[in-house]
Structure 1
Amino acid sequence: MDTRTQVNQALKQAMKDKAAERLCTLRLINAAIKDREIAARADGEEGGIDEGEILAILGKMTKQRNESARAYEEGGRLDLAERELGEIAIIEEFLPQQLSDEEVGEAITAAVAETGAESIRDMGKVMGALKAKYTGQMDFGKAGPLVKDQLCSKGDC
């Protein structure tokens, strides 16, 4: 079952259960997906958006809420931080299982070998291969420095 169907089923169930907070978050997810579809149609893309783009949207939503929760905590607004963390938990239900640090390292090693990357100039190729294969499963902000370290150990930096 694709992510969009899962979100719609969860939305219907939240309506039946009268779970207001969950319903609100699921509606935000649906709105973000529909916004991206509209943008894709405006750009002339046929067939809508694929599963990878939906996972990227969910990952972006999670990242935004993490940043907001951190800002709220620093500002002493723990009630708002808790609400953001609750939304993160709901969004993460639809994301694939995150890779462990060890699995991320193995994926980077495989992507470097697969792309034939030799130097830091090939970092874009490696990151592209990782994004194509592991969207929603790893934090690419953390993976970037690891890729850089691995490529620097192969050649000059």
Structure 2
Amino acid sequence: MIRDDIKAAQIAAMKAGDKDSRNAISLIQSAIKNRDIEERTKAQPTDDDTLVVEVLQKMVKQRRESIEMFRKGDREELAKAEEAEVAVIERFLPQQMNEAETAAAIEAIKAELGASGMKDMGRVMAELKARHASSLDMSKASAAVKAALS
């Protein structure tokens, strides 16, 4: 499980004296704990690895947005710190699908659903998310689906 990998990495970072990694991993654990609290109120709990992957993907997205803003504001040192956190977070994410794999998955779902136009985009996206959410950046996938259906 990804949680176990995260705990092991934190222990390794503490033993190695790697303060930056330890801090980033603490942020990851905090975000996961917050999400666990949110999940308690749901009737149907999310699969543990799926929940952790969603939290990690959200953290990466937030940091990439911060990096962009820091660079626009000419704050390179802060952008580098965020990039270091992204590198630590991405160590725990499953391997992401490349463009060719994403295109193949979209075409397979498109053919399976009989999708032909933009009116079917919601159905294709829903099925894509159900099958490949942990290994796919859904924001990039949305553009690929739009291109495949137009």
TM-score (ref. length: structure 2): 0.91
SS at match of 2:94: coil
Instruction: Give 1:64's match in structure 2, choosing from 55, 62, 65.
Output: 62
Match of 2:10 in 1: 11
Report the CA distance between 1:45 and its aligned residue: 4.1
SS at match of 1:42: coil
Separation in 1, partners of 2:143, 2:137: 11
Match of 2:105 in 1: 107
Superposed, which structure 2 residues align to 1:68-87 within 5 Å?
A: 68-87=66-85
Separation in 1, partners of 2:126, 2:133: 10
Unaligned runs of 5+ in 2: none
What's the % identity of the aligned pairs?
Answer: 39
Report the CA distance between 1:44 and its aligned residue: 4.0
SS at match of 2:64: helix
Match of 1:155 in 2: none
Deviation per CA, 1:61-114, whole angstroms, max 9, x where unpaired? 111101101111111111100000000000000111122211111111112123
Separation in 2, partners of 1:146, 1:109: 10
Match of 2:87 in 1: 89
Could you say if the C-alpha distance between residues 70 and 7 of structure 1 is closer, same or farther in structure 2, counting changes exceeding 3 Å? same
Separation in 2, partners of 1:114, 1:4: 34
Instruction: Give 1:119's match in structure 2, choosing from 111, 117, 120.
Output: 117
Question: RMSD in angstroms over aligned alpha carbons?
Answer: 1.6
Report the CA distance between 1:49 and its aligned residue: 4.6
Separation in 1, partners of 2:148, 2:102: 12
Q: Which amino acid in the other structure matches residue 141 of structure 1?
A: S
Q: Which amino acid in the other structure matches residue 20 of structure 1?
A: K
Asked if the contact 1:72/1:81 (under 8 Å) is kept, the reply is yes
Match of 2:149 in 1: 151
Could you say if the C-alpha distance between residues 128 and 50 of structure 1 is closer, same or farther in structure 2, counting changes exceeding 3 Å? farther
Asked if the contact 1:40/1:49 (under 8 Å) is kept, the reply is no
Asked if the contact 1:25/1:87 (under 8 Å) is kept, the reply is yes
Asked if the contact 1:37/1:49 (under 8 Å) is kept, the reply is no
Q: Which moved more, 1:85-94 or 1:114-123?
A: 114-123
Match of 1:37 in 2: 36
Asked if the contact 1:68/1:84 (under 8 Å) is kept, the reply is yes
TM-score (ref. length: structure 1): 0.87
Unaligned runs of 5+ in 1: 153-157
Q: Which amino acid in the other structure matches residue 82 of structure 1?
A: K
Separation in 1, partners of 2:29, 2:76: 27
Alignment length (residue pairs): 150
